[in-house]
Each structure stands twice: as structure tokens, then as C-alpha cells.
């Protein structure tokens, strides 16, 4: 059966339920057309010692087969050998599929598709034989928690959700130590003493929740406590005191950035380090071990409510989906677990798309600065592409854009270990054989990020400084509406107080005493001429009319000012453009209604004094409000 569905998400406060939660039910997604061989492999066990038939026992009273009759014991080395053979079969399948695409033979195409289907089902069956429930690790945790709680004088209960979630046997072994450390840390430094909890209005007994589920082809593991949480201010002060970060960088960091400092080597805020654990001490090792198997760890914490560690790891390390790219004429594989999105920039926009922060290239992606790494530069290859192909990747807690010459396609690849000659090169994680028989190296995204100093403190400080400059610059940016002023001049009107730009037909204009008005959105909108506003003494001259009383202008361009309750319309001759930039006042005001002079688009432009205008129009605003 398929892995259990994801249970409801745990909030950052890490509140545990008072009663054990019911594990999520499994959804049966087994294929109806599964091959007999795959079905037999799925029934094989993955942990026993020697290959032998289990002794038969009488059938159950219901007439169904017993466990002994429906299972066998299989040597783990035999499963490993089967997994290797399936890997070779996948390689052969990829080669045949690639060859078939070059031929125009319907029979060969049909046979290739059949081979592809059977290979995928066989691969899935073999992988299931290596799967073990995560409860194999979790089974020892209740006793560990109980013993630690007694030693610490605390009361802690353990709750588990999704303990039947399966992952590869090799990953089960790799996750034992990191999970054990997180559990010990949570009991020793996460959950408070009973007296402290009672004083905070919490139950004396703390809760430690373990949750696991499958999502997006990965295994998600969460370890949550409803303890004291992590104090970001305390982490900030400790990091500055130890010289790990500067005051300038600390000012640019968020609370979540401070919490992630616990993953730095040797970082700890514990006043007394015990032989049980120390929050921060060893957390860098936990992070390193998880990243070695292609996983990611992050945390959420709320002071006084608790902490949740979230881990994502792949289902298996043997056969993984990957994106195939080309740089310098060589093909490379990027594990899809690191892939976020793909960006293509045309040759004409290439130079403008890349900016520089202290000589480091960055790309502005949805308002954020994305560090750019050129794969050709990191591997000393010659670039051949004119367009800019950016692969946006996740490297730990950081994101980066990897520039490659060409993006090919996605494939399932078989991970092969590197030769001794290449093992010390940090940018490679392994190798694979492509469909044409050529070897492609698998990129280690964390290694590339470290070699390019994306994960370094200096890079973070440079980006933080640039973001600070961006914030200052945005605070100075003005958005102005350019209109033609009387005498064929130009006038810039700040756009912030403008509610709408409208165009009215002259027939809509009516009179209310000496004021031109329009019925507008259920209100009466007074109209004033820009020429009158800019005169030394404001006059209420009406809009120009013919002898019959009709307006000389068939269409009126009107700038509507107001807050939704009171509105007034400024009639202008022509709306030219909307500009946005940092503008510096070049001269003083030369007449009423003007705040100063600017140079915009190479022309002297007067800046409209909106505040003065609205104050002078108070009587007309009152007319609109009364309507």
C-alpha cells in the first residue's frame, strides 16, 4: 500500500494534543496491472538473516493465509544485489528509450514503452523490499525520553504520528543518530521543569510529538515540543559576543535567522552543558549528517510555545530523478530534490538581468536578490550559450541560481560512487551513465554553494548591505504623474494622493451654482481647472463654453483626488506619462500651487503642491462630502 497521507500541519507553536492522535489511514494505490514478479518482490521482508521458507502454520479461522505462509526471509545482501541489477536495468531501459526516439518504427516504439512500464514497476517493487517503517527507529525513543525525563526531574510524554511511514533501509541507519540527538535536546533544553510550566499556565507534563509522512517524493519528519521555545534575542547577543556575526549583520537579520544560528559549529546558549545534550552543541553535526544523504533540516519556534524541527530526506539514494544540463559541452545531473524553478533570459536582456553586489553577480527574482553561480566558471569550462539559463536551486537554507549553457530534460538516474580521483572534489556527489552510454557527473549543490562562497558570512553581509541600500532607495523613490501645464509647460503631480484618472464626455458636466460638477460614483464631483489653481489668486472660472453653453472640449481628462468620502477633480489639458525614480529638487517654487522644480526626462518640470491645493479646495470638498 502507498505511504500514509500527510496529517494536519503542526503550527509553529508546536502544541501537542492532550490525547494521542489517530494515525492517518493508508490509501491503497497499488497498480491493478502490477506484474507477478513485482508482486512477489513486494511481499519479501527486508530485515532477516538467511534465505529460508518460514514454517507453515494452520490457516486462520477466517480461512485467510497466515503471515508465515505469505512471507519469506531474505538476506539483505541479496536485496542489495537485486537493487544493483535493477539499477543496471534502468540504465539499459534509458538507452533503449533514447535509441527508439531516433527510429520511426511503431513496433519498436510499442515494445520500448512496454519495457519502460515493466522496468518502472519492477524498480518500485524492488525498492519496496528495502523499505522499512520509521517505527524501527522510533521504537526506542519512549524509553530514552522516560529515562532522560527522570534524570532531569521533568515529566514528558511521547506521541507518534505516521510511524508506519517507510523509507530506505540505508536512510533508516543514517537517521538514527541525528534523530536521537534531537530527541535528547528537546527533553533536556526544550521542555521546562514542572514548576516552571505550571507557573506559565501549562500542564506539568510536557509533550514530545514525532510525526512522519510522505509528500512530493520525499519523507518529511517533524520533532516538536511544547516547551519554552528558542529566544532569538538571546541567540543574537550570544552570536555577537562570540564574534560569529557583526552588529551590522545582526541588525539586518530576522528572528528566524537568529534561530538558525544554532546550526553553527560550537554555537550554544546553554549556561550549563550537560552530558545529556546542549542545544547548539552538536546541531552542526546533525545538519551535516542530514545533508550528506540529500536532506534538509529547518526549525520553527515561538517563545513560550515550543519548537519544531522539520526534516526532509529522499525516499532512496539508489535511483533518483534528476535534471540533465549541459555546460562547456559536458552533461551534468542535478538532483530534483534541490530544484526549485527554471529561468530563461533572452540574449538581448542578458546584460541587464544580472546585477552586481560587491562584484558578486545576483539576479532580481520577484523582488529578492538571488546569488548567481556560473557552472562554467566553477569547473573551468568554456561557455557556449548566448542566452541565460538559470537553474534556481535550494542549498540548505540558501537559494542560488546556477547558470548553465543548456537545459536538456529530466531522467531517473542510477547513482554510482565516484572514483578515488574525484572523491575529494566537493562539487560532485556521484556519477551516472546516460542513455547513450556516456558518463555524467552528479552535482553536489551544497558543495557548489560552499565553493562559490554563497554560504559564507561575508556573502550574507554583502547581500544584507545591498538590501539595506535598496530599502533606503525605495524610501526615496517617487512616483509622479506628468501632465501638460498652461503655456505648454510640464507639471509633475505626486501619484500617492491620486485615487483615479478619468476621462469624461462634455455632456456629463452640470452646474451647481458657479461650480462645474459631475455625478460620479454616487457623489457630486466638483471640477476645477489646473489654470485656475496655478494662478496667484484662485478664481472659479468655469470651463470654456460656446455661445450655446456647450463645452468647447468634447472630452475632459480629469485627475481625481480624494479618500473615498470627499473627492475633487482636477481638469488638465493632457496626461503625458507616469514616471518613477529618485528625483532631486533643482529649484524653488516660481508661482502659486507649485512646490519646486525638477528635471524629468531632460526637461524642466514644476512639482505640483498637492497639500496646498487640497487646503485651498476645502469649500468644494465640503460640497462633495455633503452630497
Residue 146, exposed/middle/buried by CB under 10 A (0-12, 13-18, 19+)?
Answer: middle
Chain-centroid distance of CA 192 in Å reads 32
Task: Write down the pLDDT at residue 615.
Answer: 82
Whether 130 and 83 have beta carbons less than 8 Å apart is answered as yes
Mean pLDDT of the region 371-381: 90
Residue 417 backbone dihedrals phi, psi, to 5 degrees: -70, 155
What CATH code would you report for 134-314?
3.30.565.10
User: How open is the CA angle 354-355-359, to the nearest 5 degrees?
Assistant: 115
Residue 474: helix, strand or coil by DSSP? helix
Residue 521, exposed/middle/buried by CB under 10 A (0-12, 13-18, 19+)?
Answer: exposed
Residue 254: helix, strand or coil by DSSP? coil
Question: What would the pLDDT profile of 460-497 be if each residue is shown by its tens digit?
Answer: 445 555 555 555 554 467 889 999 988 788 999 998 88
- Is residue 609's pLDDT more than 50? yes
**Residues making up the chain, counted from first to last:** 627
Least reliable range by pLDDT among 262-266, 333-337, 516-520:
262-266
What's 325-386 look like in SS3?
A: EEECCEEEEEEHHHEEEEEEECHHHHHHHEEEECCEEEEEECCEEEEEEEHHHHCCCCCCCC
Percentage of the chain modeled with pLDDT above 70:
78
Least reliable range by pLDDT among 116-130, 294-308, 608-622:
608-622
Whether 435 and 115 have beta carbons less than 8 Å apart is answered as no
CATH topology match: 42-49+73-130 vs 477-626: no
Question: What would the pLDDT profile of 404-442 be if each residue is shown by its tens digit?
Answer: 999 998 888 888 877 777 777 888 888 888 877 788 899
- Is residue 156's pLDDT more than 90? yes
Cα gap 350→341, rounded to integer Å: 18
Question: What would the pLDDT profile of 355-367 be if each residue is shown by its tens digit?
Answer: 887 778 889 888 7
Task: Write down the pLDDT at residue 483.
Answer: 92
Residue 258 backbone dihedrals phi, psi, to 5 degrees: -65, -40
Q: Strand order in 523-529's β-sheet?
A: 498-505, 555-562, 567-572, 523-529, 515-520, 510-512
Grid cell 538581448 is found at 348
Least reliable range by pLDDT among 82-86, 392-396, 492-496, 622-626:
622-626
- Is residue 163's pLDDT more than 70? yes
- Is residue 33's pLDDT more than 60? no
Q: Which fold has domain 42-49+73-130?
A: Helix Hairpins (1.10.287)
Mean pLDDT of the region 63-77: 70
Beta bridge partners of 414: 319
Chain-centroid distance of CA 313 in Å reads 16
What mean pLDDT value characterizes the chain? Answer: 78
Cα gap 100→518, rounded to integer Å: 72
- Is residue 48's pLDDT more than 50? no
- Evaluate the CA torsion angle 455, 459, 464, 467 in order and state its sign: negative
- Is residue 240's pLDDT more than 50? yes
Least reliable range by pLDDT among 27-36, 227-236, 319-328, 372-381:
27-36
Task: Write down the pLDDT at residue 63.
Answer: 54
Task: Write down the pLDDT at residue 547.
Answer: 54
Name the residue among 315, 126, 288, 74 with its Cα closest to residue 214.
315
Band of pLDDT at residue 626, cut at 50, 70 and 90: low
Task: Write down the pLDDT at residue 514.
Answer: 80
Cα gap 493→483, rounded to integer Å: 8
Residue 347, exposed/middle/buried by CB under 10 A (0-12, 13-18, 19+)?
Answer: exposed
What's 478-493 look like in SS3?
A: EEEEEEEECCCEEEEE
Grid cell 548567481 is found at 372
Question: What would the pLDDT profile of 540-566 be if each residue is shown by its tens digit?
Answer: 555 555 555 556 677 889 999 876 567
Cα gap 58→64, rounded to integer Å: 10
- Evaluate the CA torsion angle 336, 341, 347, 351 in order and state its sign: negative
- Is residue 43's pLDDT more than 90? no
Cα gap 444→418, rounded to integer Å: 12
Strands 388-395 and 339-345: antiparallel
The cell for 288 is 551535516
Band of pLDDT at residue 6, cut at 50, 70 and 90: very low
- Is residue 324's pLDDT more than 60? yes
What number of other Cβ atoms are within 10 A of residue 97's Cβ?
17
Task: Write down the pLDDT at residue 558.
Answer: 92
Residue 561: helix, strand or coil by DSSP? strand
- Which residues, including other chains, have CB under 8 Å from residue 465's CB and lie 6 or more apart? 248, 252, 357, 358
Task: Write down the pLDDT at residue 500.
Answer: 87
Grid cell 518482490 is found at 41
Cα gap 454→445, rounded to integer Å: 11
Mean pLDDT of the region 524-537: 81
Task: Write down the pLDDT at residue 65.
Answer: 58
Band of pLDDT at residue 270, cut at 50, 70 and 90: low
Mean pLDDT of the region 443-459: 74
Band of pLDDT at residue 210, cut at 50, 70 and 90: very high
Q: Which position has the higher pLDDT, 280 or 194?
A: 194
CA 310 vs CA 12, 82, 220, 228, 599: distances in Å = 11, 33, 7, 18, 54
- Given this structure, which CATH class describes domain 477-626? mainly beta
Grid cell 549541459 is found at 326
Mean pLDDT of the region 329-336: 91
Whether 140 and 175 have beta carbons less than 8 Å apart is answered as no
Residue 199: helix, strand or coil by DSSP? helix
Name the residue among 336, 431, 436 with its Cα closest to residue 97.
436
Task: Write down the pLDDT at residue 54.
Answer: 41
Cα gap 385→376, rounded to integer Å: 11
Q: Which fold has domain 320-473?
A: OB fold (Dihydrolipoamide Acetyltransferase, E2P) (2.40.50)
Band of pLDDT at residue 621, cut at 50, 70 and 90: low
Whether 454 and 400 have beta carbons less than 8 Å apart is answered as yes
Name the residue among 605, 599, 596, 614 with its Cα closest to residue 559.
614
The cell for 310 is 522539520
Cα gap 33→125, rounded to integer Å: 13
Residue 79, exposed/middle/buried by CB under 10 A (0-12, 13-18, 19+)?
Answer: buried
Least reliable range by pLDDT among 32-41, 447-456, 550-559, 611-620:
32-41
Whether 520 and 508 have beta carbons less than 8 Å apart is answered as no
Sorted by where each begins, the domain ranges of the chain are 42-49+73-130, 134-314, 320-473, 477-626
Cα gap 388→237, rounded to integer Å: 42
Residue 603: helix, strand or coil by DSSP? strand
Task: Write down the pLDDT at residue 207.
Answer: 93
Amino acid at each position: 500500500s502507498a505511504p500514509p497521507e500527510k496529517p494536519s500541519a503542526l503550527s509553529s507553536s508546536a502544541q501537542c494534543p492532550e490525547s494521542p492522535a489517530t494515525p492517518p489511514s493508508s490509501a491503497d494505490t497499488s497498480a491493478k496491472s502490477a506484474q507477478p514478479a513485482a508482486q512477489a518482490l513486494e511481499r519479501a521482508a527486508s530485515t532477516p538473516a538467511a534465505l529460508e521458507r518460514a514454517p507453515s502454520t494452520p490457516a486462520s479461522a477466517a480461512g485467510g493465509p497466515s503471515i508465515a505462509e505469505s512471507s519469506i526471509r531474505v538476506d539483505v545482501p541479496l536485496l542489495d544485489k537485486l537493487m544493483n541489477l535493477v539499477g543496471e536495468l534502468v540504465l539499459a531501459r534509458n538507452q533503449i528509450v533514447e535509441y527508439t526516439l531516433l527510429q520511426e518504427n511503431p513496433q519498436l516504439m510499442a515494445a520500448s514503452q512496454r519495457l519502460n512500464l515493466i522496468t518502472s514497476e519492477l524498480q518500485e517493487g524492488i525498492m519496496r523490499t528495502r523499505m522499512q517503517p520509521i517505527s524501527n527507529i522510533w521504537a526506542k525513543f519512549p524509553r530514552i525520553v522516560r529515562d532522560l525525563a527522570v534524570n532531569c526531574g521533568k515529566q514528558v510524554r511521547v506521541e507518534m504520528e505516521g510511524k508506519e511511514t517507510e523509507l530506505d533501509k540505508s536512510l533508516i541507519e543514517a537517521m538514527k543518530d541525528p534523530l536521537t540527538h534531537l530527541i535528547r535536546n528537546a527533553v533536556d533544553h526544550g521542555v521546562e521543569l514542572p514548576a516552571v510550566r505550571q507557573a506559565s499556565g501549562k500542564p506539568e507534563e510536557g509533550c514530545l510529538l514525532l510525526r512522519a509522512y510522505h509528500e512530493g517524493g520525499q519523507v518529511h519528519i517533524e520533532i516538536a515540543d511544547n516547551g519554552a521555545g528558542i529566544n532569538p534575542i538571546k541567540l543574537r547577543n550570544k552570536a555577537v559576543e562570540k564574534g560569529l556575526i557583526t552588529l551590522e549583520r545582526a541588525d539586518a537579520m530576522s528572528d528566524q535567522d537568529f534561530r538558525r544560528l544554532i546550526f553553527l559549529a560550537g554555537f550554544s546558549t546553554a549556561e550549563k552543558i550537560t552530558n545529556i545534550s546542549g542545544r547548539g552543541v552538536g546541531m552542526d553535526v546533525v545538519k551535516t549528517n542530514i545533508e550528506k544523504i540529500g536532506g534538509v533540516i529547518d526549525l520553527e519556534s515561538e517563545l513560550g510555545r515550543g519548537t519544531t524541527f522539520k526534516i526532509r530526506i529522499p525516499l532512496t539514494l539508489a535511483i533518483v530523478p534528476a535534471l540533465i544540463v549541459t555546460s562547456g559541452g559536458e552533461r551534468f545531473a542535478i538532483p530534483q530534490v534541490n530544484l526549485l524553478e527554471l529561468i530563461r533570459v533572452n540574449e538581448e536582456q542578458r546584460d541587464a538581468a544580472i546585477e552586481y553586489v560587491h562584484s558578486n553577480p545576483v539576479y532580481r527574482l520577484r523582488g529578492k536578490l538571488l546569488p548567481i553561480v556560473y557552472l562554467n566558471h566553477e569547473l573551468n569550462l568554456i561557455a557556449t550559450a548566448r542566452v541565460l539559463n538559470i537553474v534556481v536551486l535550494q542549498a540548505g537554507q540558501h537559494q542560488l541560481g546556477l547558470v548553465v549553457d543548456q537545459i536538456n530534460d529530466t531522467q531517473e538516474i542510477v547513482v554510482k560512487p565516484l572514483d578515488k580521483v574525484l572523491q575529494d572534489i566537493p562539487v560532485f556527489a556521484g556519477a551516472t551513465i546516460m542513455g547513450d552510454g556516456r558518463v555524467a557527473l552528479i552535482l553536489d549543490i551544497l558543495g557548489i554553494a560552499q565553493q562559490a562562497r554563497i554560504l559564507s558570512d561575508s556573502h550574507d553581509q554583502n547581500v544584507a548591505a545591498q538590501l539595506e541600500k535598496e530599502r533606503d532607495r525605495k524610501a526615496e523613490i517617487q512616483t509622479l504623474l506628468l501632465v501638460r501645464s498652461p503655456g505648454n509647460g510640464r507639471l509633475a503631480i505626486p501619484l500617492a494622493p491620486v485615487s483615479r484618472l478619468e476621462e469624461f464626455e462634455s455632456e456629463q458636466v452640470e452646474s451647481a451654482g458657479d461650480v462645474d460638477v459631475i455625478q460620479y460614483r454616487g457623489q457630486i464631483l466638483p471640477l476645477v481647472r489646473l489654470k485656475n489653481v496655478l494662478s496667484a489668486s484662485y478664481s472659479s472660472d468655469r470651463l470654456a463654453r460656446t455661445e450655446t453653453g456647450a463645452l468647447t472640449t468634447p472630452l475632459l481628462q480629469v485627475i481625481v483626488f480624494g479618500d473615498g468620502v470627499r473627492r475633487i477633480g482636477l481638469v488638465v489639458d493632457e496626461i503625458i506619462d507616469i514616471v518613477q525614480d529618485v528625483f532631486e529638487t533643482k529649484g524653488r517654487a516660481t508661482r502659486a500651487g507649485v512646490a519646486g522644480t525638477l528635471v524629468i526626462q531632460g526637461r524642466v518640470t514644476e512639482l505640483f503642491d498637492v497639500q496646498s491645493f487640497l487646503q485651498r479646495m476645502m469649500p468644494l470638498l465640503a460640497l462633495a462630502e455633503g452630497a
